[in-house]
Structure 1
Amino acid sequence: MAGHGLRHIRSTCRRRSEPKARATPLNSVPVLLVHGFATSSARTWGDNGWLDLLSDIGRAPLPMDLLGHGSADKPTDPAAYDELEAELFSRFPEGQVDAIGFSLGARTLLVLAARHPERFRSLIVAGVGQNLFPTERSSGSGETIAAAIEGATATDDPTLRYFATLAEAPDQDPAALAALMRRTNAPPVTTESLSAITCPVLVVIGDKDFAGPAEPLVAALADVRLVTLRNVDHFATPKDFGFIEASLDFLADLP
């Protein structure tokens, strides 16, 4: 069903404007994909057609589930998630990667690209922006999301309700997701840390995304391109063809 819908979107785009031709020889640099909070690689990248599209252009997709999600281990101790980024990096292939991340996956990849810039040939991040930089307002958001996932508090907030619904999927464990939200030693993202990233970065964000605006993130990166999706919110971003098309174009333009 997902593949059929995506084919329809692609054909519609072709009728509207002819996209540039892309080379199809196999590229040896894998494309690593990391999903957002309370979902999985299968749902974010597989169901929305990313894996097939990358294969179609001769790229080898490498979807990875974050600790606490999908097929990965799901500890319920918040302290276990202090090593979320290091645990993901321990599963990286040898050599460089082109990496794509959404939301929590994007944050995780930005942290890793700052720590290990030599391992990233390029980076695409979506669903992140101003929200990466801590504020007084965001200080209690982790506990609020954890409580919503556990059903401990009733809420009329549509974002919290959506996270709670995602956590009920068969491949998720609400206790593990709540534990992740309660970790106390998440590495900070700062303008100073982001300055260590040396690869080209594509930032994609919807103009209705609560994570925006993207300008504070863009200003902190040395080699960056920004694409804004019109009338797209946070949760619609992974399936938006504007995001997909911008990412494929960005990858095709790499030397």
Structure 2
Amino acid sequence: MNHDTRRLPAPGGQVGPLWVVTRGSGPPLVLLHGNGEDHHVFDGMVPALGAGRTLIGIDSRAHGRSPRGDGPLRIATMADDVAHVLDLLDLPSVDVLGFSDGGNVALELAVRHPGRIRRLVVVGANLFPAGMSRTMRAVGRIGHGLLSALSRVVPRLRVPAERFALMVHDPCLDPADLARVDIPTLVVAGERDVVRPEHTRLIGASIPGARTAVLSGVGHMIPVQAPDRLSALVTAFLAEGPSDETSAGTAGTTRANP
């Protein structure tokens, strides 16, 4: 695998359509944040994840320091943005850790751009809006409606309204699409996540050989609430070799206690 990271901006810079920050050296691990956030959501995990790795934090379009860009603000578009950035950085295959909407982007990347991901970890991801709790869907609808109305008189609220729209309309992945994801995958959720438990299990069951881990006593914001526990899971998973991949061919669910 190509680990040439000489094109990476250090510590940060614009790469094509997106703002990218980097830290460390070694095999690249791309970090994809959630809705309304930026790469800083992973700050508590950087010391553990960055040991022997190049961390590549990407701000999604209309988030952090990345511009809104043209075209629709959709999860699929964000996945295409990431593929474009990887092309510009000459990184044909990378490990990816995606949280929340970043996990959704990572799943779209795996489906839309086969071969770009070596190992995949998705945390608090969902395939479609109905995968989230009823309360969270209501929050999305109310927030989107309110911000959409206000944005007619306050233009700077248009982008926040679009972000809420992602919660209402996106992502749009069919579980059958995940059957084509032929890469080692770890699906993580919190015991009290806003993603419904049965939906997390659906994601894990739809990806051949994927494993699912549920962190006890934790809600949705796992990178912030339990950075050490999540880092340990991710580090162990990414360090596995070919023999481990062979023995892990059957999907399974584990509960990670404190």
TM-score normalised by the chain length of structure 1: 0.69
**8 Å contact kept, 2:42–2:223:** no
Segments of structure 2 that go 5 or more residues without pairing to the other structure are 1-24, 151-155, 243-258
* Residue 145 (1) aligns with residue 140 (2): no
Segments of structure 1 that go 5 or more residues without pairing to the other structure are 1-25, 153-172
Mapping of 1:94-243 within 5 angstroms? 94-128=91-125, 131-135=126-130, 142-147=140-145, 174-182=157-165, 186=170, 188-213=172-197, 214-240=200-226, 241-243=228-230
CA distance in 1, matches of 2:47, 2:162: 33
Deviation at 1:148, TM superposition (A): 5.7
TM-aligned CA distance change 1:242 to 1:55, over 3 Å: closer
**Aligned-residue RMSD, C-alpha:** 2.9
Residues 157-181 of structure 1 deviation map (CA, whole Å, 9 limit, x = unaligned): xxxxxxxxxxxxxxxx753132133
For 1:194, give the aligned amino acid: L
CA distance in 2, matches of 1:189, 1:238: 27
CA distance in 2, matches of 1:210, 1:102: 13
CA distance in 1, matches of 2:193, 2:138: 20
TM-score normalised by the chain length of structure 2: 0.68
Range that drifts further, 223-232 or 102-111? 223-232
Residues 22-73 of structure 1 deviation map (CA, whole Å, 9 limit, x = unaligned): xxxx64x31000001111102x112x1x2232222x1110010111111111
Among candidates 18, 33, 36, match of residue 31 of structure 2: 33
Deviation at 1:197, TM superposition (A): 0.7
Deviation at 1:230, TM superposition (A): 0.5
* Structure 2 counterpart SS, 1:81: coil
Percent identical among aligned pairs is 26
Deviation at 1:185, TM superposition (A): 7.4
CA distance in 2, matches of 1:190, 1:41: 27
Structure in which a larger fraction of residues adopt strand:
2
Greater relative contact order (Cα 8 A, min sep 6): structure 1 or 2? 1
